[in-house]
Every structure is written in structure tokens, then in C-alpha cells.
């Protein structure tokens, strides 16, 4: 299985503090059944902006440590990039990493809302053959209040990533329910742990899948995991027509 969203580099953002904690996270990932993990340290974030060369250097170091310990896990480069009006420039100049050297970008919106220029940035990225994948939309306040806002972004050409911990209930019942509803409405396309630490922000990769299994969302599990794998090979993702959120009863709950 492939995890497309993780904070495994040490001392650079709000992930592990030292290399030992990074190694503990990587071992925990293997115990979850993860075979490939994309490192997505923050970039263009108000607090963190991890340089592209630091990402490459640390991943090289961690790969050596994994080889020494014979840990069967492959690490891939990436960034979780906060949206800004300079995002296209930063992508084309290789200041930030796309996911595993693909044409997919993990795009983070501010937790409090959706900037007015978001639609324009989606179009600009697509014009440069870069497909934005919106990270954890289920935790964005504006989308929580009106989930149809995510539907509009998807119809503009963006994709979205649901978080394992959200489905598992780590962020509360309300977030869990919204996550399930977004899955059922075909508004999320990929799956990531967004893990930061083995205890305070663990992977919960299998726990999230188990919730989908319990809810009999077997097709969704297959789609999410297949799309994760397709990112590594830079293939087109499987995308189903999103439902019109405004016609569903559940969205008015938020």
C-alpha cells in the first residue's frame, strides 16, 4: 500500500523532532502494511517552508538507515504545499516537490477557509500539466460549513485526499461523518495518513480503511488505494462524477 501524505522528516516542520523518531515512524508505517510512503513536509506554510534540497538530503539519509535495518519501505520525495499566488512559479522552478516526481501536487488550503484566488490557481496549475490534490478537505472550516465548496473545486479540475485519522474518528465524530459523506459523494480520490508522530499523530492507515470496510464502502477502498499507486507511476487517476452536494440532505447538517 502507498501512503501519499506523511511528515517523516525530522526537525523541519511539525513532524518528528529527531532521526530516531523518524525511524520509529517508518517502522510503524511498515507495521501498517505500507510499502511506499511519500514524504510531504510543509512548504510555503506560514510557519514552515522546507527547502527542496533538504527534503532530498534527509530522504537519502533515511533510506540508508532503512537499508541498514533491512526495513522494507520505499520513501519518495514530495511536499505539502500551502496555496499561494506564487505556487505555480515555485513548482516550475523546482522549489517544491511534486508527489514522487509525478505531475500531482499535494495542495494545502488554509484551515480557516478557501482563498478567493483558489480557482484561478487550480486553472494555472492545470495549464502547466500539474494536477492539484487538495489535502484533508474534511478539516477545512469553509468546506465543513458548506461541503459543496469542495464540489466546485473538484469540478474545476482539482482532486482531493481524505485522511486516515479523519475516517478513523481521530478528529471527532463530526469530521468522521463528513469524511464518509465526501467519500460517498465521489469528492475524494486519494488516501493519506498525514502522520506526524507515532503517538500524537499516528498513521491510523488500517483503522481508516477498516471504517470504510465496516460501512461496506469496498469500492471506495479499492479506488483510493489504486489511485495512490497510480500517483507513483504518474498515471491518470480513476475519477467518478461527483454528486451534486446541494441535492443531498446531509450537507445541510454542516
Is 2-253 a CATH 3.20.20.140 domain?
yes
Assign 126 to helix, strand or coil.
Answer: helix
Report whether pLDDT(249) > 90: no
Cα separation, 189 vs 225, in Å, equals 9
Q: Where are the beta strands (DSSP E) in 74-233?
A: 74-76, 79-82, 104-108, 131-135, 159-163, 190-192
Classify the C-alpha dihedral 42-95-38-223 as positive or negative.
positive
pTM for the whole structure: 0.94
Strands 104-108 and 131-135, bridge-based pairing: parallel
Report whether pLDDT(250) > 70: no
Assign 74 to helix, strand or coil.
Answer: strand
Q: Which residues contact 193 (CB under 8 A, 6 or more apart)?
A: 3, 5, 6, 29, 32, 163, 164, 165, 202, 203, 204, 205
Residues 153-182 pLDDT 10s: 999 999 999 999 999 999 999 999 999 999
Amino acid at each position: 500500500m502507498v501512503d501519499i501524505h506523511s511528515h517523516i522528516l525530522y526537525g523541519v516542520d511539525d513532524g518528528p523532532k529527531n532521526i530516531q523518531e523518524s525511524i520509529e515512524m517508518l517502522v510503524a508505517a511498515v507495521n501498517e502494511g505500507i510499502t511506499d510512503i511519500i514524504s510531504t513536509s510543509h512548504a510555503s506554510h506560514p510557519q514552515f517552508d522546507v527547502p527542496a534540497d533538504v527534503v532530498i538530503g534527509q530522504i537519502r539519509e533515511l533510506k540508508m538507515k532503512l537499508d541498514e535495518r533491512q526495513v522494507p519501505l520505499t520513501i519518495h520525495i514530495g511536499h505539502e504545499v500551502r496555496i499561494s499566488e506564487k505556487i505555480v512559479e515555485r513548482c516550475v522552478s523546482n522549489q517544491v516537490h511534486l508527489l514522487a516526481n509525478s505531475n500531482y501536487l499535494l495542495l494545502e488550503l488554509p484551515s480557516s477557509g478557501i482563498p478567493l484566488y483558489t480557482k484561478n490557481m487550480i486553472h494555472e496549475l492545470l495549464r502547466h500539466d500539474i494536477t492539484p490534490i487538495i489535502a484533508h478537505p474534511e478539516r477545512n472550516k469553509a468546506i465543513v460549513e458548506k461541503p459543496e465548496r469542495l464540489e466546485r473545486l473538484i469540478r474545476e479540475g482539482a482532486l482531493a485526499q481524505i485522511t486516515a485519522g479523519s475516517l478513523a474518528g481521530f478528529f471527532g465524530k463530526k469530521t468522521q461523518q463528513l469524511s464518509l459523506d465526501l467519500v460517498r459523494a465521489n469528492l475524494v480520490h486519494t488516501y493519506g495518513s498525514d502522520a506526524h508522530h507515532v503517538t500524537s499523530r499516528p498513521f491510523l492507515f488500517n483503522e481508516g480503511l477498516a471504517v470504510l470496510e465496516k460501512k461496506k464502502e469496498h469500492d471506495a477502498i479499492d479506488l483510493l488505494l489504486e489511485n495512490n499507486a497510480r500517483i507513483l507511476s504518474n498515471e491518470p487517476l480513476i475519477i467518478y462524477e461527483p454528486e451534486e452536494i446541494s441535492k443531498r440532505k446531509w450537507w445541510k447538517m454542516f
